[in-house]
């Protein structure tokens, strides 16, 4: 008797044949699915693997997600920080992908963060979503031991040589000319006013930095400048947040940054080789100085690629924001304008030319001492616009104790401090969201109540080597801008904005990228 129930094998074969598939192809299908599932599970296991951490590491924050870790560290820095520190009262740990990171809070921990020589500033770049470097490994120019100095690096040694008084004096006329010409281009021929976005001043900042730290050719040749500026602009304004979590992720922004760096290296290499072939030892610029030193060519190329980006990173943000602030606060604009006229009267009263042209008669020493109001405005701008996560790497093989706790920063572990904690502290900066340059007058200076109460120029082992040039550059830009125009805050159409207010978005995920801030420029009366 024929059975009405088919066997499992017969049913499978019959179904397969009806679908037009061969028995062998169907048999392979489960194996393909198994292989795919195995691969997927292996990938998940790899990216979600979390190495064991030191027993005395601070506790992990709950503000985290499976596999990726604490993305809030990158996308909402201040909110994440306040949550993780439980209102700035405790240290904490978190992960970026598989990396363990320690967050510290409080005055004692802050001092340790800036003073401990084993907390490396250079190596931390791997957990920042921007920059010119793609480490590890860290390039040799950033490693200690150059000329027998434990903390003396090739990069710092050569940079300090380029920042000597005689070098600043030589670049001063060119920096002034760059500022005057570029700011002059903001106003069309015959126009009575113009609308601009303050952050666009970054190209002038880059020009001045290139003259001081590289060579004039890259600025004076329009072809070279546009190519170099495009590469630097990509590195400054393109962010790869997810590559901080997984550096192998082929994100579009990451690829753009890699290509920009590759092109910048090609450009600098070509210029170095050309100068070597020209054999012009008497030429007086930074490029020739390093060649005359007989420095390793790879070191020379890496130095220039690095400094072109590093020198412009903070400078372009501060310059753009200073001009925006001048437009918002006409009372401070007027005070600075009076300082400019006083300085010019002292050094070039009887000379012909516009007020902006007469700035060239002010000597270097006077540039550094004649503008106290610019200095106060600059410090307040820096306080508000350098408020973000600052990172280090414990490069030693030993754990570093966190003061006043039984916790540690484990060996080979990243550590962060959010400078907003001190920059917007009500005790050190009363009414911290208010733009108030008078905080820095001798009668006040509330920030001196704590060690390292002002972090604008770095502190301890990592004070800003380029501070003198940075101050001079910002003073030149502000003085030139205000000597040429009155600045008024407006909307994109040039209409006055009665509700405008200087704001610092503390949760910005782009610490070095300014939103448009429109300003209307009106030429000054001839003085």
Least confident stretch, 9-23, 45-59, 157-171, 490-504? 9-23
- Check pLDDT > 70 for residue 27: no
> ∠ CA(170), CA(174), CA(175), 5° rounding?
100
- Check pLDDT > 90 for residue 40: no
Helix (H) or strand (E) holding 45, with range, is helix 23-48
- Check pLDDT > 60 for residue 403: yes
Where is pLDDT greater, at 30 or 193? 193
- Check pLDDT > 60 for residue 5: no
Residue 44 pLDDT:
57
Least confident stretch, 16-30, 43-57, 427-441? 16-30
Average pLDDT score, the chain: 88
When pLDDT is cut at 50, 70 and 90, the band that residue 22 belongs to is: very low
Of 419, 511, 488, 342, whose CA–CA distance to 114 is shortest? 419
What is the pLDDT averaged over residues 273-293?
95
Least confident stretch, 12-16, 40-44, 255-259, 443-447? 12-16
Q: How far, in Å, CA of 78 to CA of 81, rounded?
A: 5
When pLDDT is cut at 50, 70 and 90, the band that residue 243 belongs to is: confident
- Check pLDDT > 60 for residue 17: no
Structural domains in the chain plus CATH codes:
140-386+456-523 (1.10.630.10)
When pLDDT is cut at 50, 70 and 90, the band that residue 11 belongs to is: very low
When pLDDT is cut at 50, 70 and 90, the band that residue 20 belongs to is: very low
Structure tokens at 150: 């434990």
What is the pLDDT averaged over residues 480-488?
96
Least confident stretch, 3-17, 368-382, 392-406, 456-470? 3-17
Please check if 120 is assigned to a binding site. no
DSSP state of 486: E
Least confident stretch, 26-30, 234-238, 415-419? 26-30
What is the pLDDT averaged over residues 470-492?
95
Q: How far, in Å, CA of 342 to CA of 527, rounded?
A: 12
Q: Which three-class secondary structure string do you get for 47-97? A: HHCCCCCCCCCCCECCCCECCCECCHHHHCHHHHHHHHCCCCCCCEEEEEC
Alpha carbon dihedral 467, 468, 471, 473, in 10-degree steps, equals: -110
When pLDDT is cut at 50, 70 and 90, the band that residue 492 belongs to is: confident
Structure tokens at 173: 């006329």
Residue 16 pLDDT:
40
For the stretch 148-174, pLDDT in tens is 555 689 999 999 999 999 999 999 999
């Amino acid at each position: 008797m024929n059975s009405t129930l088919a066997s499992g094998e017969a049913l499978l074969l019959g179904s397969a044949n009806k679908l037009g598939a061969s028995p062998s192809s169907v048999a392979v299908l489960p194996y393909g699915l198994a292989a795919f599932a195995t691969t997927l599970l292996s990938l998940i296991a790899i990216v979600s693997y979390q190495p064991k951490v030191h027993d005395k590491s601070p506790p992990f924050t709950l503000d985290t997600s499976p596999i990726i870790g604490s993305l809030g560290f990158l996308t909402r820095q201040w909110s994440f920080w306040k949550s993780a520190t439980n209102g700035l009262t405790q240290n904490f740990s978190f992960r970026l992908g598989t990396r363990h990171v320690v967050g510290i809070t409080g005055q004692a921990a802050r001092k340790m963060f800036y003073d401990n020589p084993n907390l490396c500033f250079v190596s931390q770049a791997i957990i920042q979503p921007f920059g010119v470097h793609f480490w590890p490994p860290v390039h040799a120019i950033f490693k200690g031991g150059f000329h027998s100095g434990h903390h003396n690096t090739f990069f710092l040694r050569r940079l300090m040589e380029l920042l000597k008084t005689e070098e600043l004096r030589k670049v001063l006329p060119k920096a002034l000319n760059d500022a005057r010409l570029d700011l002059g281009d903001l106003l069309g021929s015959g126009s009575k006013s113009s609308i601009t976005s303050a952050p666009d001043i970054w190209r002038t900042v880059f020009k001045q930095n290139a003259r001081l730290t590289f060579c004039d050719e890259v600025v004076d040749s329009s072809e070279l400048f546009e190519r170099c500026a495009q590469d630097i602009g990509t590195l400054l304004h393109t962010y790869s947040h997810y590559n901080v979590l997984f550096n192998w992720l082929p994100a579009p922004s990451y690829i753009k940054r890699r290509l920009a760096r590759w092109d910048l290296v090609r450009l600098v290499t070509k210029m170095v080789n050309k100068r070597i072939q020209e054999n012009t030892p008497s030429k007086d610029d930074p490029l020739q100085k390093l060649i005359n030193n007989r420095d390793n060519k790879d070191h020379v190329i890496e130095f220039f690629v690095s400094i072109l980006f590093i020198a412009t990173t903070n400078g372009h943000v501060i310059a753009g924001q200073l001009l925006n602030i001048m437009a918002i606060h006409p009372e401070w604009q007027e005070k600075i304008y009076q300082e400019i006229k006083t300085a010019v009267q002292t050094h070039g009263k009887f000379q012909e030319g516009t007020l902006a042209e007469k700035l060239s008669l002010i000597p270097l020493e006077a540039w550094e001492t004649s503008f106290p109001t610019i200095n106060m405005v600059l410090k307040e701008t820096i306080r508000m616009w350098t408020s973000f996560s600052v990172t280090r790497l414990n490069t030693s093989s030993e754990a570093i104790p966190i003061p006043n706790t039984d916790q540690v920063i484990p060996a080979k572990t990243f550590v962060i401090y959010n400078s907003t904690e001190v920059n917007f502290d009500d005790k050190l900066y009363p009414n911290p969201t208010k733009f108030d340059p008078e905080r820095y007058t001798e009668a006040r200076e509330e920030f001196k109540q704590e060690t390292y109460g002002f972090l604008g120029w770095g502190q301890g082992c990592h004070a800003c080597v380029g501070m003198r040039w940075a101050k001079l550059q910002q003073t030149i830009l502000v003085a030139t801008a205000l000597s040429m125009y009155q600045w008024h805050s407006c909307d994109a159409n040039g209409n006055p904005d009665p509700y405008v207010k200087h704001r610092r978005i503390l949760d910005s995920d782009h610490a070095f990228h300014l939103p448009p801030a429109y300003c209307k420029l009106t030429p000054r009366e001839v003085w």
